[in-house]
Amino acid sequence: TQLLEQSPQFLSIQEGENLTVYCNSSSVFSSLQWYRQEPGEGPVLLVTVVTGGEVKKLKRLTFQFGDARKDSSLHITAAQPGDTGLYLCAGHHNAGNMLTFGGGTRLMVKP
Amino acid sequence: EAGVAQSPRYKIIEKRQSVAFWCNPISGHATLYWYQQILGQGPKLLIQFQNNGVVDDSQLPKDRFSAERLKGVDSTLKIQPAKLEDSAVYLCASSLNRGGSSEAFFGQGTRLTVV
């Protein structure tokens, strides 16, 4: 049973469109991490958000941590084919350094 | 800095056979994770080590899966006997867990196919 629910599971859009991916949980986390995974590779960290309400930007990607530190969103502006991949959110607990992943959102950006 | 190394990259076995995977984490990383990732899903934690001690193995099917981390460095994950539903990618990750850094660094994974 996944403690973190991601939506949507799949997203296929045209180049230039905007999109938002959501990550929701009933648990409070010390921090929340977003990873991107390409076929045949392990996940790679994009960003960590720590403070409730925190917003971080990474070029065209904007990450937000919910005020209660239970949910997060990833917004991509003007998506490009290079953004194609599996986006994973992961909740981290400082105690024990435990890291739990959501089910992932598979994004395909068509040229 | 060398990343997390895993071997083999691919393995095909018949059901009821045994298999072992090896992981060499980043030097100095105290935390080591083994995740199972079934096609189309997110990684599911199997076991987490802190140095050579087990932190969490609540989702490890202990009747067939075992793992060890000798001397708090390398780790092996074994499946005996394998079932068809064990077909997945097995990911190893390590984390420094110091100074507020909790980033997990992943290996490329071992893709297991059980036929």
User: Does A101 contact B50 at a Cβ distance shorter than 8 Å?
Assistant: no
DSSP H or E segment with residue A27: none
| Range B26-33 average pLDDT | 93
| Range B62-85 average pLDDT | 95
Query: What residues of A are in contact with residue B103 (Cβ under 8 Å)?
Result: 33, 45, 48
Residues above pLDDT 70, as percent of chain B: 96
Whether the bond between A8 and the residue before it is cis, its omega within 30 degrees of 0, is yes
Residues above pLDDT 90, as percent of chain A: 88
Query: What residues of A are in contact with residue B40 (Cβ under 8 Å)?
Result: 104, 106
| Contact (CB, 8 A) for B47 and B60 | yes
| Contact (CB, 8 A) for A103 and A6 | yes
Identify the residue with better confidence: A42 or B100.
A42
pLDDT at B98 over 80: no
| Range A29-49 average pLDDT | 94
- Beta bridge partners, A107, equal A11, A85
- The Cα-based distances of A51 to A12, A70, A71, B40 in angstroms read 31, 11, 12, 30
| Partner residue facing B43 (CB), from A41, A98, A101 | A101
A99/B contact by beta carbon, under 8 A: yes
Q: Shortest Cα distance from B107 to chain A (angstroms)?
A: 6
Q: Shortest Cα distance from B98 to chain A (angstroms)?
A: 10
DSSP H or E segment with residue B15: none
Strands B104-106 and B88-95: antiparallel
Phi, psi of A82 (to 5 degrees): -70, -10
Instruction: Determine which of B47, B95, B102 to mutate to test the interface with A (most A C-beta atoms within 10 Å).
Output: B102
User: Does A97 contact B35 at a Cβ distance shorter than 8 Å?
Assistant: no
Phi, psi of B3 (to 5 degrees): -90, -170
Query: What residues of A are in contact with residue B106 (Cβ under 8 Å)?
Result: 41-44
| Range A22-27 average pLDDT | 94
pLDDT at A32 over 90: yes
